[in-house]
Structure 1
Amino acid sequence: MTEPGTITAAVNGTPENPGIDRRWQFDAGDADVSGELTLYYRNDVESCCFPMENWFVSDAAVGDDDYSQWDLEMVQEDGAGNRTALDTYVNPYSNKASADVSLRGTTRFEVVLPEQEEPERNFTWG
């Protein structure tokens, strides 16, 4: 941490996202923090007693013939809407994606399937 401060976080649905249908937003204000960020997501398959609650594009536990959670990548979006894919570690068994990030001001993150991403969404693939 270079500059201490308060960081607020919000998670909202993004049905257009090809991957995990959520967007995480962090407002670091004047704080300046760098480190590993882990984003957790829901991927509950239907069982005898519980309904499916799944944020992943597929209903499969880890993947199916079309989609695999192993292919997910975290992308960072700056205030101008420019998006950069980050080197991402994915563990679909614990429903999380991790990457090294820096938080300054407002930063948004999504977890996407790169081959499903629409080109007009302004990406830089790292």
Structure 2
Amino acid sequence: MAVSPLKYIPLATFANDMRILTASLPRLLAEQDEAQAGIVAKMARARGAQLGSVHAHAAPGIKAVNQAPIVRLFGNQHPEIFGAEFGGGARPRTRQFPPWRGKGQDAGYMLFPVMREYTDSKPFYDAYFDTVKNALRFR
């Protein structure tokens, strides 16, 4: 007689596990959001350092915000960061920055390209999938 690979659990146990999951999954996903924001910020700083000149000077102003899934450009610490990220050249005082790329799919020099590339990558999706998979492991 073949042994079934399925494990039968009482409905009450399943309901309790689902209640625990619905309570813990939002917290686990929020933690994963924070971790991913840190990874994106780190990659954007590295990209800025590779680009050199004003980008390397402005790159430390790209930081992940604590307790939130947000990457922020700190212009109060590095006033040149917005010119380094988005470009300039239309006014005499912005000619120190690379050309403005517009609002399209190629906008940005440090943070926005990293966000587009990384959020479309396998490691990004795998991290979230693993979080959900680990949360779904029942006792």
- Which one has the bigger helix percentage? 2
- Which one has the bigger strand percentage? 1
Pick the structure with greater CA Rg: 2
